[in-house]
Amino acid sequence: MYTKQSKIKTLFNAPFGKDVMELLMYMSGKDPVLFRNPIVGNIKLRNLPSLTKNLITDDFLDTLIDILNREPELLECKVSEEKKQWWKNAVFYQIYPRSFKDSNNDGIGDLNGITSKLDYLKDIGIDAVWLSPIYDSPNDDNGYDIRDYEKIMKEFGDMDDFDVMLQEIHKRNMKLIMDLVINHTSDEHFWFQEALKGKESKYHDYYIFKEGKGNRPPNNWTSAFKGSAWNYYPNLDEYALHVFSKKQMDLNWENEHMRKDIYQMINRWLEKGVDGFRLDVINLISKTPGLPDGVQLLSNLVGAVGYEHMIYGPKLHEYLREMRKMTFDKYDAFTVGEGAGIGLEAAKMMTCESRKELDQIFNFDQLNNPGKGRYDSYKYDLRKLKPLLIKWQTEFKDGCWPALVFENHDNPRFLSRITKQESFRDVVAKLVITLMLTLRGTPYFYQGQEIGMIDTSFRDISDFRDVEAINMYNMYLGEGMTQQDAIKKVAPGTRDHARIPMQWEDAAYGGFSDVRPWIDCSNDYMRYNVKKQIEDSESILNYMKSLITLRKDNQTLIYGDFTLSNNDADTFCFRRKDKDACFYIEINLLDTNKKRRTDVIRKSYKKIISNYKDSHELLRPYEAAIYMIGDKK
């Protein structure tokens, strides 16, 4: 039982405590070993506010202790042998349908466009397609505000188009993973519209309604998209919670009838043949009872006030186990959760095979350097990435399987973070691909990553489509900032960088459409496009294709042991080894030459592939190479 009298060192004995302390140290650039120092470790929790200069306040300490007592001990997840499953072997590819391929020339990508490109994905070596939401939606947040779970968005096609696409995916021995948003729905969903008709409606309790405090909302929670997390409805004299946009209303998972309706909807999709789901912000579905005020200071770390009361709620595991039993297990379906803010130990609790909750979870600590956020403009230091990768490779195992992801629809292009030098563009893109296909875990590529797509330019607010960026822009204007300065603040981190149209060829609008797209293309398609890279044997695309083939042909690169090799701070060298083979991977994390830590020539290592065409005695800027040690058995 944790209390304020407990010692700081005991925090590392609880999953959430260990994650929080390591996150705080990571964000501040300090080593967690600081708190294992006998002097510091024996300090009592009640002293944390003064020790952290009120980064941890008394209110947050109370919340922290409550969460610690939900899971007071670290999980030992052990298996006698790694279970081989299709989704561990698979290479996933995320499609943002609106921006992938327009088949009917309305400027918007659609399902038939996706179907037309399945042969391209199969040829690369993709095993599973993950689609961002395609459900009926008013598009306040580009489909993540669902109006009808069982209807296709008109702009994307209809259910007949979906059935054809699914059939064609399966015909190519590929899988389809749907993006499912069940933390919230659109305010235009039938349930919410019925909920607004009166407190006596059964759907009123499907959402989180609460009376205000005088003329103020029920608590001080803020939306991830800025502003209050509450909408006021005069006819009810109540507020309703929205953790995201004003049109994305949070569901009340305490209501078992709501949960049952969600499960029935999931089962109907699984009956159609869908192979699994990516579950959007799934760790937020359970909120702290009573919805207490959040700690204002923490918003600097997590981006919103009140997040600590939903990131790892008291009934999260109960809901996940129930959902799996009532849906996924019946169809042997795959699940990967978006764990916004979830650390390694909490991820174990949610994905360990024996707990029967999720199969995998996304962690996004790697997307930004310590102390940096998505909207910061800076040069990403790959040396800061290395300890994170090592941590997840060495500590997240024995029944837990990592998800390897560096790009998605919610973040700027990772490649643009690392370098803006054109001379390094291809080399760095190939370096990231090398990491994703040689580390232990399932790789998730995002559309355009295979051709090295980069961030675009935004000069006017009319160029943006991202509701989050637009809200931030208006907030900055309200604070007195000029339009030009506000654009400079939001442009580096807008999600629109990842949502510009796919670059298929050197033609009008990059071959995405024959008409102007819903969001402007980047002129970059003139040089970087699929058609051009297919024809270039040294392209990023063909490098990725070769590496996928190497991974498929060598189970060692999937299930083999991960061990660090000769390293210094500027290189990342490791081995993947099993009874059949041993591979040595060496990576230079800097944009300058480095001396090799291992003399691969003298040791007669056989080079398999590299992001440089020729060989050199030094490791060149961002060089990544894969060698085989000895012969394959």
Q: How far, in Å, CA of 369 to CA of 382, rounded?
A: 8
Contact 362, 311 (CB under 8 A): no
Residue 129: CB atoms within 10 A of its CB come to: 24
Alpha-carbon distance values, 161 to 157, 178, 326 (Å): 6, 15, 28
Distance of CA 422 to the CA centre of its chain: 27
Alpha helices in 151-307 (DSSP H): 159-171, 190-195, 256-272, 299-302
280 is catalytic: yes
Identify the pLDDT of residue 610: 97
Q: Which of 141, 179, 338, 359 is catalytic?
A: 338
Per-residue pLDDT at 633? 62
* Alpha-carbon torsion angle 312, 305, 144, 378, nearest 10: -100
- Look-up: residue for tokens 């088949």? 103
Q: How high is the pLDDT of residue 74? A: 85
Q: Are the C-beta atoms of residues 291 and 316 closer than 8 Å to each other?
A: no
Residue 231: exposed, middle, or buried by beta-carbon count in 10 A (0-12, 13-18, 19+)? middle
98-112 exposure pattern, b = at least 16 Cβ within 10 A, e = fewer: bbbbbbeeebbbbbb
- By the 8 A CB rule, do 597 and 567 touch? yes
Closest CA to 452 of 495, 422, 482, 481: 422
Determine how many CB atoms are found less than 10 A away from the CB of residue 358.
24
pLDDT at 127: 98
Asked if 610 and 624 count as a contact pair (C-beta separation under 8 A), the reply is yes
Residues of the chain with pLDDT under 70: 27-33, 35, 55, 633
Catalytic entry in 22, 140, 145, 280: 280
Confidence (pLDDT) at 29: 66
Q: Which residue in the block uniquely carries the two structure tokens 């081989």?
A: 84
**Pairwise CA distance, residues 365 & 435, whole Å:** 16
* Other C-beta atoms lying within 10 Å of the C-beta of residue 410: 19
Question: With contact defined as beta carbons under 8 Å apart, do 346 and 339 qualify?
Answer: yes
Closest-CA residue to 243 (of 286, 192, 197, 203) = 286
pLDDT value of residue 32: 65
User: Is 407 considered catalytic here?
Assistant: no
Rounded to the nearest 5 percent, the helix, strand and coil shares of the chain are 40, 15, 45
User: Quick one: which H or E segment has residue 585?
Assistant: strand 582-588
pLDDT of residue 441: 98
Contact 361, 405 (CB under 8 A): no
Distance CA 531, CA 607 (A): 28
State residue 350's pLDDT score. 96
What is the Cα–Cα distance from 625 to 529, expressed in whole angstroms? 25
Give the full edge-to-edge strand order of the sheet including 128-131. Answer: 360-362, 334-338, 276-279, 175-180, 128-131, 92-95, 442-446, 403-405
Instruction: Dump pLDDT digits (tens) for 515-545.
Output: 999 999 998 999 999 999 999 999 999 999 9
